[in-house]
Structure 1
Amino acid sequence: MDPHVRTRLILARHGQTDYNREARLQGQVDIPLNATGRKQAARLAHAMTEHAPDLIVSSPLARAHDTALEVGKACGIDVTTDDAFLERGFGPWEGLRGEEIRSRWPKEHAAWRDHRAVPGLGIEDRPDVARRVAERCRELVAQNTGATILVVGHGAATTLGITELLGLDTDTFRGIGGLQNCHRSVLEPLLADATGERMRLVSHNLAPDFI
């Protein structure tokens, strides 16, 4: 990899939804942006025009796709979708609040809160989510040397993907705060890594209107 060529990966979370506002677990339920989320997406789009990406990829879920489309419209760039950037699947818990999950699945909820695997409910394991996000990010970076790539996804999946890209243990490491709505993080390839798989975190949780 040429050290003089800068490739940047920007990972952004979608704008707010009613489920976010109501503290419901969204997972892969296809919930649209609410009025606040649309405003956040517009602010992100305005900020991104200052240093427009060369490529925009999003989760196919409407809240992420519509956020990405707002940026694409402002920057004059088409948006493609990729299932690799779907949110972590939470099975029957999707759409529920924490207290509802705790009352109906007390043991499983306790395991989840302790960051342990929850078998039998169709809840994606943390390392599986981390790998699918990180592997696709690595492919995009390898295929677009010297470009700025914007990926619009989801809170849990993106945070896990960042953890994996930094070479950290996605089962045990909890040191990366989750992205807020329409906030973004910036990563670059770690040139010192001989495997070519690790990246370094340049900025994290930048506000949607940060330029």
Structure 2
Amino acid sequence: MRSRGKIQPRRGLRHGVRVFCRKLENSERRQLALLGLVAVLAAFVLGGAVRLFEPDDEGPPPVLEAPPVPTPAAPEPSPTVPPSPTPTDTPEASGTSRAPAPPPDPPRNVPAVTIARPGTDERLMDDRDFDVFGTVHALGDNDLRLFLFSARRQLFYLADYRAEDVPNDGRWHIESTGIGEHWGHTGDVYVLLAVLADGSCRRVLDGLELGHDRYPAFNRLPNGCRAAAQVRVIEDNVPT
């Protein structure tokens, strides 16, 4: 009976040779497969390079046509600017100036009054009558009366004797009762007023006694009495 633990020398050698040959064959096959793969890759790369440098038999590449350029629209006409006036159109440029137009005449039905005398800042003797002159337009139903306003006392004094007969249009003259000697002092300032008196004003003034050192005084002009003209005068006690 043979022992199983021992290996026969000849069988072991043959077995080893067969194993070595198999490994060698496998190694050679792998190398051959690797070389074949490398050859295939090299042929592929070389073929692509040759094709890249070969001329194209199909002709030149197509030429791309540029899109048509749109025709610009015609510009709109600019607005017409009116010509500026020449310098000769104005009186300043021509060196001539027009004379100012005269003041318009007062409306026909509106009363208007002026005082021609006494003049502005004229000195008037106290306690002495003086004459007042002026013009009137469209007096109508009004009376024309005189007042003196004292700047120092802030009072209005009735300064005529009566409602005089004054024309509707034209020149008028009224005698004033003057400045009372007890009113103030030399150099005092007064304002002489020509007043239009309607019916309400007449009812207040007609019942007053005037003259002989009677000078009715008012804090303001009575109702219906409207100042139409005025001039500043100065009290004096030295005869001129």
**TM-score of the superposed pair, with normalisation by structure 1:** 0.23
Whichever structure has more strand as a proportion of its residues is 2
Higher relative contact order, chain-length normalized (CA < 8 Å, sep 6+): 1
**TM-score of the superposed pair, with normalisation by structure 2:** 0.21
